[in-house]
A and B are shown apart, each in its own frame.
Chain A
Amino acid sequence: MTGAWMGMPAFPDAAREAVRDSQLRANLRNATGTIRAKRARVVAERPDWEQLRVAGERIKDQALRNLADHLVEFERNATAAGAHVHWARDAAEANKIVLELVRATGSSEVVKVKSMATQEIELNESLAEHGITAVETDLAELIVQLGHDKPSHILVPAIHRNRAEIREIFTREMPDVPAGLTDAPIELAGAARAHLRRKFLSARVGISGANFAVAETGTLVVLESEGNGRMCLTLPETLISVVGIEKVVPTFADLEVMMQLLPRSSTGERMNPYTSMWTGVAPGDGPQDVHIVLLDNGRTDALADEIGRQALRCIRCSACLNVCPVYERTGGHAYGSVYPGPIGAILTPQLRGVAADAVSASLPFASSLCGACYEVCPVRINIPQALVHLRGQVVDAKRGKPSAERLAMVGMGWVFGSPRRLRWAQKLAALGGRVLGRRGRIGRLPGPGAAWTDTRDLPVPGQSFRDWWADR
């Protein structure tokens, strides 16, 4: 994972800016609140929800445990059905493969199904460098693309925009925008529909990701809500799908569980509106030139980490984003990655390397560890556990480099190493409290303590419990 997201500020700095944006906070509160309530309603309908979650977890774990075998099986079956399977070690390799495939068609425009994998490798930017225009056809992705913006949510990439802002973007950027467009949702959707329809009918190359890749049949599965995906998957002559290697499930029957978990968790629907499945080439029907690019890009490294690897179970439903109190206040851009929110905080550092850059190193700390994400995850990814584990890796990567934090932590460790030292430290704290306290409160601390007292008072420590107990 590299490119346009690089050079972003680390999470605390980006978040500081985001929490000051009252429009953004209002947009996010409304949107996440609505999806959260919808999800809760449809999940509550299923008395077997917890069993489904366990089944989802086990299916993905089984797939990951024998990933190499399942991938080879997938390749064999997809190839037998007429698809061409390519293997990409990283973003650069994947982009190169796709570029060559598009060039071979002679086309200078491609239509795209919403896909996280292609966002991750920044395929659009890579194609643009070589004169090929990639048109996003998912409504929200189109809004992001036309707004020269970045996605801020896995499922609802334009969640940070309200309809007034969308009207503005369409009016400014859409060449065939209808005159007098208002911000009524039906008009905005209509404008996008007309604009996209022309693109679908002229496109010769479609590019997609996949939600699932079924090893035993060689089938790819895409779930979407608008029907734009169905257009991209069926109308062009050439179809290229970039698929993360962790998307594989062993058997077709595994989809039974996944197709129940995903829609309820992501959009709060009982059943997904448009589900497309294809197995290689169907002669005379749909794309006749079908390619699948299997993408590693850091996934094998994540798989090697016994606690971190659970992040690869993720089915990109976004339920964790929608319940996350941190995400709700910062939005997705603060996470400096196409994968925002709690899952992004454990996935991004693993795909890039925890010590790769300041953003990655800050992400495991971008959580209060409240555990709301783990509670809703349909494949039971213990995100707080993985966050704490990755924090350990960040700290270990910096061992040997002195810092105020390390000094404080080692110092506290020394103090807690003996009750006698703790007692002395408590007396020192009480003394400091008498110096700094006013009317039973400390309103101002020097140095790093100001991060607390800038906005919050502190109680003044007095006689410790252990001294009280000793005198009792």
Chain B
Amino acid sequence: MKVALFITCFNDTVFPETGKAVVRVLERLGHSVVFPAAQTCCGQMHFNTGYQREAVPLVRRFVEVFADAEAVVAPSASCVAMVREFYGRVAEVAGDRKLARAVTEVQPKVHEFTEFLVDVAGVTDVGAYFPHKVTYHPTCHGLRMLGLGDRPVRLLSAVRGLELIDLPHSTECCGFGGTFAVKNADVSVAMGQDKIAHVLGTGAEVLAAADNSCLMHLGGLLSRGRSGVRVMHLAEILAHEEVPA
């Protein structure tokens, strides 16, 4: 299948390794990957912070860039949730019926990375090897808006050598919340610290998730606390292979 990668502005700039990992996994599975260079940002930050008019041109750009794509894959549950849940509203705010039509046409083609693997590509074993103890945090938009369910856990469970440890209170928000993390930094950090306590309690070496934004928040706390636990996007784990001796 020909996959158009929506890398998201955040991964593009701060977490390029996640994008590279997505490319590796998809190509390993026999898909051809393109990266339309005209893409920038889905508009979530603007929209969720109240700058809804400013989100309109970004939504316009997204639907134009991916109009002809067969399938769009993004390694961010929250950006996909933005496209799926709020793009219609942005078109309404813009009062643009043509945009609304374009939105409904592009929406069904946009898949979060684990959705694409399990539902479209029909795989759970992607041939990865990662001999570490991992715990998985289901991020809120993936959990509640996309309904990712056990897809990420099935993918991780199929990784050879990986020991998956349940994260207690896993469905509780980590406290990132976009601009919430700075607008209400004290509450955000209080939530993050409770999440970290649960992570440390598992004894895992790696905390995985399908959203680097939440991981940046949790990773920032873990790093400041010199915990020795690292955060990794799930795609980077799935990209790992056994190096032949």
Measured CA separation A388–B48 after assembly (Å): 6
Cβ–Cβ contact B48 & A369, under 8 A: yes
Whether A392 sits at the interface, judged by CB under 8 Å, is yes
**A399 (CB) vs chain B CBs: closest residue:** B53
Q: Which of B28-46 contact A (CB under 8 A)?
A: 35, 37-41, 43, 45-46
Whether B176 sits at the interface, judged by CB under 8 Å, is yes
Contacts of B183 in A (CB 8 A): 12, 365
Give the bracket for the number of chain B residues in contact with chain A. Answer: 35 or more
Cβ–Cβ contact B190 & A329, under 8 A: yes
Measured CA separation A462–B17 after assembly (Å): 10
Whether A418 sits at the interface, judged by CB under 8 Å, is yes
Contacts of A422 in B (CB 8 A): 9, 12, 40-41
Cβ–Cβ contact A15 & B187, under 8 A: yes
From A396, A410, A468, contact of B20 by CB (8 A)? A468
Cβ–Cβ contact B35 & A469, under 8 A: yes
Cross-chain pairs A/B with CB under 8 angstroms, 7 sampled: A12-B185, A326-B191, A369-B178, A391-B49, A415-B40, A454-B185, A455-B189
Q: Mark A53-65, 1 if CB is under 8 A from B, else 0.
A: 0000000000000
Q: Which of A398-434 contact B (CB under 8 A)?
A: 405, 409-410, 412-413, 415-419, 422, 425-426, 429
Cβ–Cβ contact A465 & B12, under 8 A: yes
Whether B107 sits at the interface, judged by CB under 8 Å, is no
Cβ–Cβ contact B182 & A451, under 8 A: yes
Give B180 Cβ to nearest chain A Cβ, in Å. Answer: 5
Give the bracket for the number of chain A residues in contact with chain B. Answer: 35 or more
Q: Mark A263-286, 1 if CB is under 8 A from B, else 0.
A: 000000000000000000000000
> Would A409 and B46 be within 8 Å (CB), given that A451-B182, A458-B220 are in contact?
yes
Using A368-B173, A416-B40, A422-B9 as known contacts, list a sample of 7 further A-B pairs with CB atoms less than 8 Å apart, ordered by residue number in A: A15-B184, A368-B176, A370-B173, A371-B145, A413-B51, A454-B185, A456-B223
**B145 (CB) vs chain A CBs: closest residue:** A371
Cβ–Cβ contact A452 & B177, under 8 A: no
From B7, B50, B217, contact of A395 by CB (8 A)? B50
Cβ–Cβ contact B220 & A456, under 8 A: yes
Q: Of B14, B15, B35, B52, which is in contact with the most chain A CB atoms at under 10 Å from its CB?
A: B14
Whether B131 sits at the interface, judged by CB under 8 Å, is no
